[in-house]
Structure 1
């Protein structure tokens, strides 16, 4: 008898969560909310809402494009709306219009993507803060403006928040993020009038995997709260007005999950530490961009075990530890242009960098002979040496490499 009870219970659960298209039906109220959203859209260049209608044979909004439903105990609920408007064939956004505040009536909505559309400078409706089950919210590149409603702080289940490339004018503080303990991915980039005003001793309740704060006013100090994050795979704090050295402890916090690091176009000063860190012990597909800053001194060798390294437009004076690795590295792209590096290039190291496809040493103070061992870089596709003081013309040197395989 107990076995029979368990079997019946399992059957009940499976039937309760059945999400097949044949069983899921759209309720009249949900359909009304979506049709109101459509009526507020004045232009639909991509046909995102073409399937949305109220005809007798088209009333099931669970079958409409971009709408996903779930069935629970004989009643359907909309759980996902994906109307992202990115279209590579057109420079214009797909949808233009206003966002209806009645979306808040979709109580079970957990996923909302309205990115790459144009909502005509309107603020985000306050009512979105009432979508208590929302886990994913993408309003990036969507033409929103004004302030960011404080009601968003109530979205305590939020895991992804993307609101980049809008026209927000606001100041965000600790309080705006106090309930986001589940947050994993955050993108606030490219909102030039959006300011972050966090307490110096703020310790967020979340641990981020992705953080994108490009073109925000974070500086002049390095944001200390970033040092509390220990699981980044993607970090972009470029063009952020930072003008002090990177704390050494930052490098020790990086993990093997990291695949992208961009701190370019700041005015970061100081020297890079010569670290021994597991993340740099072996080659991995990691892009590092520290260009357009004021770093100086020696370029440490630990940066050689990445796939792409941009250190151009700094004040580095000694690249030899990087250019002369003790063992083979698989660095593919290296840009050291517009630095203060001088002296002769090493002649016996290039065979350990034979996977390079892009090498830029332009606009430094290198002199002397161009080493013949550069010919060991068999994968080289782009090689830039101009604006140095080599004995021999770089153009002549490269022509010999192309014609004869050696200078």
Structure 2
């Protein structure tokens, strides 16, 4: 070939390559790096940025002088330079969420194929309707972005859309979802938490999506379907989540599943209301690999047909009403299923029997059986289950000895939870073949020393050895604390020593509970890097200044009560603890003023500073803590008037304790605005003035019922890939029936007003009788005057009433006898007069309830009322004739008779005493008898002397 021909051929090749450059570059993943983004798209993105509040700089790279294709969260086309991807998913950037709204300039990004703004906060604004015009969109993710209002039907115009996630927002209840079938290319649909209660044809609608492979409708209030859709279901559906709805066995959903030609791989029906026996129909879905029935009402056992489900890997039946023998459960899974099954979750049922040999399930990785009724021993064959990773047997009645043989081949074991009924018999130097991630041995008998084998576990993130009779020294056990720990519970042991002051940085914010031990010394700084820290009921001492060295916005619960901690509360710490919900410093030796920086705790719901020596006035900054539910400042040295803002700043306050301080002034009427208040304790102060008449505005006390028995504060924490709810239960020591009791799990049932030991004057307001939910009312030790309202009997829930040591006058209302629950009554030391009313409940009180009222009369006081007949011996009661005959018989008994009897008794008494002096055992027995006899003798002589006096008068 000539030179010219070669040159011509090279020219053609060069032209071809120039024409194909974008295609080849795109194929090779290179592309033209000099295209840059389009100017109108960059301007649109800057407008989008203007409407977003970026607290942590997620969009810091979005600048007007840069190529927008280089901005974070963006991707441009290698061929055209148009923006094709906008990813502002806050979780993927590990950033705090963006806030604000989506600007309509989004319309300018016409070539977008991928849009993800999930895990942000759009303040319940509406999804921009303009998104429906982005016809190239294939992926739209709006999950958990706090969108609200109506779902725009314009989304139905996105005919190329393959992925749509609208879950976990705050939309209005849609009337229909008829726009969905227009998304003919849709493969993935999530509408979890969208309220579909009005969409009765939801199953018909989603059944029209021919390419749908994944459908997530969790927590949608789905109505039950009672007719099977006529349109055949997509055969490509492989993931279906209908959990957290109210579907019942009468629904046709199950019939649809059993009769359709679906190829479902994962099916989640958890948290519904399916009842009766588990249907055999599930075994018809041959493709099923994951089946979740968690928290339903299924009964009986597992159908035998499940043994033929050859692809079944996960079977979750926890929290149902299953019963029967565990051996039968396992036998019904024998077939091809026992070779494929990897996870069996049967927690929280009523399954009985012993633990069978599980080596018939060679692929088993997870076995969860805790909280059933299992008995018998744990077979040693368990140690042969080489694939086992999770073993939960806790809260059963299994017995016998656990030895090294039970774990001989469990090299993959990661999660272990055993019941306290088992006896551990490991050799001192035993080294397990596994490294546990979770150790749950609470209430097991592990002590008195920390088990040696536990020291070999270097990588655990979860350890619960609470109440396990350990009395070791913690300072010799540095291995307990590790960087990766996420949950630690060593409470209710006898662990002593000082917590080691480690220079430790946790990889996460752990839950740590070291309460109810004998720990001493100070609290090291690293512990304050927790999300939940409870070191209460120990002997810890010193200041808590180490708290100021950390800046932990993730600390939610801080419980340091019942220790020997001292010093002033630093004023510079609290502004860094903006996430704190519970602060309990009660029963320590703190002093000084309550720091004003506590007002920075805007999320705090429970503040307990009880029984310290805090002084000064309440800082006004406390009125910024508007979420408070529990406030206990009792037993301190606080002074000044009770602030008005206590009644206006806390709309949710349930418990208010200011007991035993030096508050003065009057009771602010603004406290009457606390409509949720159930406990008001202002006792032992210097409060004067009248009791506010507006107490009947405390609406929680005007109702007999209580919303919850306990006052619980919860926090959702993520540990690993799991989410756990950790709770703190408010508690207080309350004077009840003369003794101080700790109220915790029933604190929410307590409804009490205690204004005792103050300088209150005036009358008891009649409005108090509207507080029909009151359980305890204590107004004692004041200077109250006037009469007890005649309608006091309306307080039907009252168990304790103390009005003693006042200046109340007039009679005791007869309606008091209508309170049949009353078990404590003290009206003593007043100016009450007249006859004491009677009734089945009032008759149980003795004279101490009424003493100190000179003008009261009637039982149980010895003073009889004017004109009152002398009570007769009940054995003598009968007809008038019988009473007359008895009086005639008693006429033969004279005063001399009683004198003779008395002299004879005295002579005999000293004769007996002479004998007793010589016999110690008889002397002890006699005086016990005498103490009992003297009361009976006094009553008998009093009654008979009264009869004698009556005869002498006649």
| TM-score for the superposition, normalised by structure 2 | 0.33
Aligned to 2:567: 343
Instruction: Give 1:36-51 correspondences, 5 Å limit.
Output: 46-47=274-275, 49-51=277-279
What displacement does 1:251 show? Answer: 4.5
Aligned partners of 1:133, 1:146: CA distance in 2, in Å?
25
Aligned to 2:342: 110
Aligned partners of 1:59, 1:248: CA distance in 2, in Å?
52
Aligned to 1:84: 317
Aligned partners of 1:401, 1:180: CA distance in 2, in Å?
64
1:124 and 2:355 are equivalent in the alignment: yes
Q: For the structure 1 residues 125 and 276, does the alpha-carbon distance in structure 2 shift closer, same or farther, using more than 3 Å as the test?
A: same
Aligned partners of 1:329, 1:85: CA distance in 2, in Å?
37
Q: For the structure 1 residues 176 and 327, does the alpha-carbon distance in structure 2 shift closer, same or farther, using more than 3 Å as the test?
A: closer
Aligned to 1:11: none
Using CA pairs under 8 Å that are at least 6 residues apart, name the structure with larger relative contact order, 1 or 2: 1
Aligned to 2:421: 193
Aligned partners of 1:399, 1:226: CA distance in 2, in Å?
53
Gaps of 5+ in 1: 1-18, 25-44, 69-74, 87-92
Deviations 1:209-261 (A, max 9, x none): 11111111111111222222222222111111111123343146x133x3211
Question: 1:135 touches 1:159 (CA, 8 Å); kept in 2?
Answer: yes
Aligned residue for 1:279, secondary structure, equals coil
Aligned residue for 1:216, secondary structure, equals coil
Q: For the structure 1 residues 48 and 209, does the alpha-carbon distance in structure 2 shift closer, same or farther, using more than 3 Å as the test?
A: farther
Gaps of 5+ in 2: 1-236, 239-259, 264-272, 293-307, 618-632, 650-954
Aligned to 1:276: 503
Aligned to 2:522: 298
Question: 2:413 touches 2:436 (CA, 8 Å); kept in 1?
Answer: yes
Question: 1:230 touches 1:255 (CA, 8 Å); kept in 2?
Answer: no
Aligned partners of 1:222, 1:309: CA distance in 2, in Å?
22
Aligned partners of 1:359, 1:286: CA distance in 2, in Å?
17
1:250 and 2:487 are equivalent in the alignment: no
Deviations 1:345-391 (A, max 9, x none): 33443333343221001111223333333333333221101122223
Aligned partners of 2:557, 2:343: CA distance in 1, in Å?
38
Aligned to 2:100: none
Q: Which moved more, 1:342-351 or 1:235-244?
A: 342-351
Aligned partners of 1:378, 1:81: CA distance in 2, in Å?
44
Aligned partners of 2:471, 2:449: CA distance in 1, in Å?
6
Q: For the structure 1 residues 294 and 335, does the alpha-carbon distance in structure 2 shift closer, same or farther, using more than 3 Å as the test?
A: same
Q: For the structure 1 residues 276 and 402, does the alpha-carbon distance in structure 2 shift closer, same or farther, using more than 3 Å as the test?
A: farther
What displacement does 1:124 show? Answer: 1.2
Alignment length, in residue pairs?
Answer: 343
Q: For the structure 1 residues 219 and 399, does the alpha-carbon distance in structure 2 shift closer, same or farther, using more than 3 Å as the test?
A: farther
Question: 1:187 touches 1:211 (CA, 8 Å); kept in 2?
Answer: yes
What displacement does 1:158 show? Answer: 0.7
Aligned partners of 1:50, 1:64: CA distance in 2, in Å?
15
What displacement does 1:334 show? Answer: 0.3
Aligned residue for 2:540, secondary structure, equals strand
Deviations 1:154-210 (A, max 9, x none): 21111111111111112111111110001111111xx23112222221111111111
Aligned partners of 1:367, 1:230: CA distance in 2, in Å?
41
Aligned to 1:151: 381
Q: For the structure 1 residues 327 and 259, does the alpha-carbon distance in structure 2 shift closer, same or farther, using more than 3 Å as the test?
A: closer
Question: 1:46 touches 1:94 (CA, 8 Å); kept in 2?
Answer: no
1:367 and 2:591 are equivalent in the alignment: yes
Deviations 1:31-68 (A, max 9, x none): xxxxxxxxxxxxxx953743126xxxx86374789769
Aligned to 2:410: 180
Aligned residue for 2:359, secondary structure, equals helix
Aligned partners of 2:645, 2:401: CA distance in 1, in Å?
56
Question: 1:227 touches 1:249 (CA, 8 Å); kept in 2?
Answer: no
Question: 1:129 touches 1:153 (CA, 8 Å); kept in 2?
Answer: no
Question: 2:505 touches 2:526 (CA, 8 Å); kept in 1?
Answer: no
Aligned to 2:741: none
Deviations 1:95-135 (A, max 9, x none): 11113153455233322222221123x11123x23322211
State which of 537, 542, 552 in structure 2 corresponds to 1:329. 552
Aligned residue for 1:146, secondary structure, equals coil
Structure with bigger gyration radius: 2
Deviations 1:245-298 (A, max 9, x none): 23343146x133x32111111111110011102327xxx331111111111111
Aligned residue for 2:551, secondary structure, equals coil
Aligned partners of 2:323, 2:274: CA distance in 1, in Å?
11
Aligned to 1:27: none
State which of 489, 494, 503 in structure 2 corresponds to 1:262. 489
Aligned partners of 2:601, 2:424: CA distance in 1, in Å?
45
State which of 226, 239, 245 in structure 1 corresponds to 2:467. 239
Question: 2:583 touches 2:606 (CA, 8 Å); kept in 1?
Answer: yes
Question: 2:437 touches 2:462 (CA, 8 Å); kept in 1?
Answer: yes
Q: For the structure 1 residues 67 and 278, does the alpha-carbon distance in structure 2 shift closer, same or farther, using more than 3 Å as the test?
A: closer
1:380 and 2:604 are equivalent in the alignment: yes
Aligned partners of 2:315, 2:494: CA distance in 1, in Å?
39
1:60 and 2:284 are equivalent in the alignment: yes
CA RMSD of aligned residues (A): 3.3
State which of 342, 347, 371 in structure 2 corresponds to 1:141. 371
Question: 1:48 touches 1:65 (CA, 8 Å); kept in 2?
Answer: no
Q: For the structure 1 residues 365 and 214, does the alpha-carbon distance in structure 2 shift closer, same or farther, using more than 3 Å as the test?
A: same
Aligned partners of 2:408, 2:432: CA distance in 1, in Å?
7
Q: For the structure 1 residues 81 and 275, does the alpha-carbon distance in structure 2 shift closer, same or farther, using more than 3 Å as the test?
A: closer
Aligned to 1:95: 322
Q: For the structure 1 residues 50 and 104, does the alpha-carbon distance in structure 2 shift closer, same or farther, using more than 3 Å as the test?
A: closer
Aligned partners of 1:362, 1:111: CA distance in 2, in Å?
46
Aligned partners of 2:361, 2:368: CA distance in 1, in Å?
14
Q: For the structure 1 residues 108 and 292, does the alpha-carbon distance in structure 2 shift closer, same or farther, using more than 3 Å as the test?
A: same
Question: 1:350 touches 1:377 (CA, 8 Å); kept in 2?
Answer: yes
State which of 227, 232, 236 in structure 1 corresponds to 2:455. 227
Q: Which moved more, 1:392-401 or 1:140-149?
A: 392-401
Aligned partners of 1:210, 1:151: CA distance in 2, in Å?
22
